[in-house]
Every structure is written in structure tokens, then in C-alpha cells.
Amino acid sequence: MALCYKDRSYCRAWELCKHGSTCVSALTDKIVKEADKFGLPVDSNLKFSCFEQTEKEPLNENAG
């Protein structure tokens, strides 16, 4: 197994998750930049089992 940044996986769907803004596994730009600084790859998954889709606001077709 290859060495990766902080020896852990990160979630690529964090921006679509209800808990993404506070998630310790979010694959943010900061994480990517830090990994690049050390020349290490980042292990990531599309979604973790804790993923909860954000609720989309319904389109108000009667507005205007």
C-alpha cells in the first residue's frame, strides 16, 4: 500500500452533504494544497457511508 496524505481517505462529495462544512473527511482545496506541498497523493472516495444529501430548495415557478 502506498503512502498517502495523513494516511486516510477523504470524501469528494462533501459539498453536497448536510455535514460537509464541518466534516473532518472533506476533500477541500486546503487538503489538496497541503498534500501537494509534501508531494503526497490524496486517497479519496466519492461518498462515505455518513453522507446525507443536502435538501434542495424547490423552484418557485410562481415567483416574479
Residue 26 neighbours by CB distance under 10 Å: 19
How many whole angstroms separate alpha carbon 55 and alpha carbon 64? 23
Model-level pTM? 0.75
How many whole angstroms separate alpha carbon 63 and alpha carbon 49? 37
* pLDDT single digits (tens) 4-49: 999 999 999 999 899 999 999 999 999 999 999 999 999 999 889 9
**Average pLDDT of span 43-62:** 74
Residue 51 neighbours by CB distance under 10 Å: 17
Confidence of residue 62 (pLDDT cuts 50, 70, 90): low
